[in-house]
Structure 1
Amino acid sequence: MANIKECSQIVDNYLKARIPFISVRTCERSRVLDIFRKSSQEIGIPIYVHSISKGMRELIEDTQVSDDRSLPGALDFISENMPKKSNLTIILTEMPDIEDDTDTARQLMDLTLLATENGGSIVVIGNKPVWGQLQRLGMSLTLDNPDEEEILEIIKECIDPYRGSMEIQWDDTDVKKAATFLNGISKIETENIIVTLLAKGSILKEDINEVMSAKERIFSDISGLERIKVNNDILNVGGLAGLRQWLNVNSQLVTADLRGTGIKPPRGVLLVGVPGCGKSLSAKAIAVDWNLPLYRLDLSTIHGQYLGQSEGRLKEALATADHVAPCVLWIDEIEKGLAGATGGGDGGTSTRLVGQFLFWLQEATARVFIVATANDISKLPVELLRRGRFDELFFVDLPTREERREIISIYIKKGLKSEINEDLMNELVELSDGFSGADIESAVNDVAKKAYLDGFESITEDFFKKAFINVVPMTKTNPEKIEDIRNWGKERAVSASGAPIGGESPNNSSKNRGRTILM
């Protein structure tokens, strides 16, 4: 894998060394031809390029050298001219049927041997692998999609000529931000997005959002990933002050230009804890607050029935996440998708998936911020919990008294479009002791339904209280499980609320010491 600068240097070296066969893996033919065109001028060697649409032409002057546009005609041209001209270099842009041992691949191998005898080079550009015996006669390289630095130059080349002739509000900071958002797509896709903005006669500050939307449309049909649309107007998360504080500090690092600083952008957080307390909602809130697209990776759809199928699907999904970066990648109930890794009941598939996911988590450089959630901590692979996998491990506990007050207020405003008096609020806060956020939402929803059906005048304080009394929280139905979850979190995780895990005030220093956020 190489960026444009590395690829240019490698091509120069291959041509100077007269490597007889060079394969270039890419989907962007024009970028590769630009590289060879530059090398041809610097080294001083003629290069011919063949395509079905134009036939055989001289690369720099773009003059016709053969009228036969067919692929057999191109191979015949190589066979006739390779012995006559020294240092002949010919680029073939369309070469099907050379992945395996085929007649075309063998013919190309014979021509490569002819090139070896005469100091020639045959270059094949494509996005598929080459037959092994043929590839071993030469060298190969893969040209990556443009990195942020190259995309930055592409954007400048598109918009700088129009500064002064139309309104362009983007400064250097905006251009860098756009380059970060467009990282992972091709040069032609980048150019198409920018010239579309230019076509409307101006580029304004708010057009940064259109850049993000345009990139999302390119990857609208994504295998293994689901694009989640979040309604900004109704999304609100109560409590979780500790998690919010950490996110506020790290938000500017997600899209910042960190080259040369030695600082890595935040990779993600793992949210564990009591079910129904806002872990999944937090993933949506992060995407909204950071103004990033949200994608959900459903590990249950990754598993396939054939050997290696699950791993292939996960690899494809994670590679796609890299392409749509910067984004928030939400992995809900991660323990369910990787549960077999702790029990070994699936022939090792989950173990391999864990290994593949951890490798990507460690080595991938794209700005994908992962928000993984888990309810059943006993099923989490221990490798996932090692320090350094995620930036932080947060424990989402039952809401404290003040958090319950905030959550009740949020849901009442959302469902009833009103507020309640302070005395009633105090009673509801006490009645909701031991409730999760989902329990509070359920109680308020019952009130909102009655208000819709019977009118707001039917809602009395007694009805409010009964709605809360009727909810039986998990702390009553399964207190042992809640206690086990909390005991696990006290030693391993940071409290997402900022309050001690398992209670609003520490009972003793050993059980509630927990971990804290460094700020």
Structure 2
Amino acid sequence: MLNKTARTVETLIRARYPLIYIVSFEENRVCNAMKQIATARNKQLYQWSVTEGLLLPDGSYLTEFKDPVRALEYILNLDVNGLFILKDYHPYMNDPVVIRKLRDLNRSLKLSMKNVIFLSPILKIPGELEKEISVVDYKLPDKEDLEQIVKSIAETVGEKQLEEIKDKDFLNKVVEAALGLTAEEAENVFAKSIVENGNFNLKTILAEKEQIIRKSGVLEYYHANENMKEVGGLEQLKEWLSKRGKAFSPAAREFGLPEPRGILLLGIPGCGKSLTAKAISSMWQLPLLKLDVGKVFSSLVGSSEENVRRAIATAESIAPSILWLDEMEKGFSGLSSSGQTDGGTTARVFGTFLTWLQEKKSPVFVVATCNNVKELPPELLRKGRFDEIFFVDLPSKEERKDIFRIHLEKRHRDPNGFDLEKLAESTKEFAGSELEEIIVSALYDAFDEGCDLKQEHLEKTVAGMIPLSKTMGDQIKGIREWAKIRAKKASNSSWEDETAGVRKLEM
């Protein structure tokens, strides 16, 4: 049975599209699908590669046609109802002779029963052929495809594995763990899991997925050890995330709820935006992929756009998942001058990402963090891109007490042995990361003195530290003014509310 992408190719063949470009790493899987189509449409299937020449329908080879131009001439002169697969033909499309020959072939094939399919993992089409070649991205195996692979391997191995996958919940977990792998990769890791563990082991499968994502060079599979208990304050944001986490379930679809799209966390540096992004993964039990925008950009023309498309496709293939963009404004800096500085590459990459953000149907939850919202283009902030924009301010007094407690417990100290009220009061303008640094610095002092951590160590460190809010007061004020009417507060109370209360008492 053909999958959705293969049916799309079949439609193009039936409509007599002469030149079709299939982008896929899965050569065998695509070729098997094309064999099914050729059989169903009474077409003869030919395959070409530069190493073997032309593979004829009867299984024999014409090795004299290894030359890419001679292969096109053979196709042009052959009078058959045929389907021709040209494997890894893209390097030869830089040759002016090949380009001209393909344009001649395109015109000729329109009057015949022949179709040419270029099969390659890399999309590379010269400008002269852009209007004459139809491109199809061959999707990775979906849940149904992977389920068939699991069952096939289980039947081959034995009764124990067959019995194991009769549990539908377990089978679903195995399939979801393998989403994002090619069919061959899935077969290999399932076999590896059985050899190593005697069963379908989820950890083994997920470890293989991590390697695949790492090889992409753009995405990083992030192991989130943080949880929401380690995030001090931010009650409104936590409540919002708790509600949205339930919306990935089938019950939510039946209820009529769409999958959450994403959030933009903006605010003061060091106040927990990145920590929250990591904690969401643990809270929702979803894989966290970090997109390094800097790695997207390549020196080769067109590669940057291809990199971001591949990153998006990878995130979608393992959905439901979380895609994390840290300090987003830095990744897309120079957007306004992109046409003059980099030939428009930054603008095109951003445009690709923006379009996907607006139109995406897959359950990929995007978490973007930003310190300087003024550097972000306005079109990113309009409704529809994100479900909500949250402003993360400096922590309030209660939040500072909570942050001190969290970091003292992380370092095996009893918070009850310290005057958290006094510490919170003396750190009014400090960010969360600065509160953590106070404890770390005080621990160094105590260790140097050969004693345990005491209140005076913390107070001494506070007295000697100048918070970031002092050195970048104007910028913080500007961010607050912007967020007042455009963003939702992440906390029930803020540092600014606390300061306003003090001012009122003084008056």
The structure 2 residue matched to 1:290, chosen from 284, 287, 292, is: 284
Aligned to 1:39: 37
The verdict on how the C-alpha distance between 1:210 and 1:178 changes in structure 2, with shifts beyond 3 A counting, is: same
The 5 A counterparts of 1:422-433 are 424-433=419-428
Deviates more, 1:19-28 or 1:438-447: 19-28
Deviates more, 1:99-108 or 1:483-492: 99-108
Aligned to 2:364: 368
TM-score, normalized by length of structure 2? 0.78
The CA deviation at 1:386 is 0.9
CA contact (8 A) 2:227 2:283 kept: no
1:28 aligns with 2:22: no
SS in structure 2 opposite 1:371?
A: strand
C-alpha offsets along residues 101-143 of structure 1, whole Å, 9 cap, x if unaligned?
56667777888888777x5525434215577888988876543
TM-score, normalized by length of structure 1? 0.77
The CA deviation at 1:364 is 3.7
The CA deviation at 1:43 is 4.2
The 5 A counterparts of 1:345-494 are 351-415=347-411, 417-421=412-416, 424-457=419-452, 459-494=453-488
The verdict on how the C-alpha distance between 1:451 and 1:53 changes in structure 2, with shifts beyond 3 A counting, is: same
The verdict on how the C-alpha distance between 1:339 and 1:24 changes in structure 2, with shifts beyond 3 A counting, is: closer
The CA deviation at 1:413 is 1.9
2:372 and 2:118 map into 1 onto residues whose CA distance is: 49
- The structure whose residues are more often helix, as a share, is 2
The aligned amino acid for 2:328 is: I
1:197 and 1:456 map into 2 onto residues whose CA distance is: 50
Aligned to 2:326: 332
The 5 A counterparts of 1:211-250 are 211-232=205-226, 236-250=230-244
1:154 aligns with 2:149: yes
Aligned to 1:517: none
The CA deviation at 1:351 is 4.8
The CA deviation at 1:399 is 1.7
Aligned to 2:263: 269
Aligned to 2:114: 121
1:482 and 1:24 map into 2 onto residues whose CA distance is: 50
C-alpha offsets along residues 55-88 of structure 1, whole Å, 9 cap, x if unaligned?
6354xxxx54x354453599599679945xx535
The verdict on how the C-alpha distance between 1:502 and 1:203 changes in structure 2, with shifts beyond 3 A counting, is: farther
SS in structure 1 opposite 2:444?
A: helix
Tell me, which stretches of 5 or more residues in structure 2 are unaligned?
A: 502-507
CA contact (8 A) 2:392 2:489 kept: yes
The CA deviation at 1:424 is 1.7
CA contact (8 A) 1:227 1:296 kept: yes
The verdict on how the C-alpha distance between 1:346 and 1:403 changes in structure 2, with shifts beyond 3 A counting, is: farther
Aligned to 1:4: 3
2:42 and 2:144 map into 1 onto residues whose CA distance is: 28
1:56 aligns with 2:45: no
CA contact (8 A) 2:86 2:116 kept: yes
C-alpha offsets along residues 390-443 of structure 1, whole Å, 9 cap, x if unaligned?
12111112222332222111111223x121436722222322333221221122
The CA deviation at 1:270 is 0.8
1:360 and 1:213 map into 2 onto residues whose CA distance is: 28
**Paired-residue identity, %:** 31
1:349 and 1:68 map into 2 onto residues whose CA distance is: 43
The structure 2 residue matched to 1:144, chosen from 139, 143, 152, is: 139
1:350 and 1:46 map into 2 onto residues whose CA distance is: 45
The aligned amino acid for 2:186 is: T
The aligned amino acid for 2:490 is: A
SS in structure 1 opposite 2:266?
A: strand
The aligned amino acid for 2:187 is: E
Number of equivalent positions:
492
2:164 and 2:52 map into 1 onto residues whose CA distance is: 38
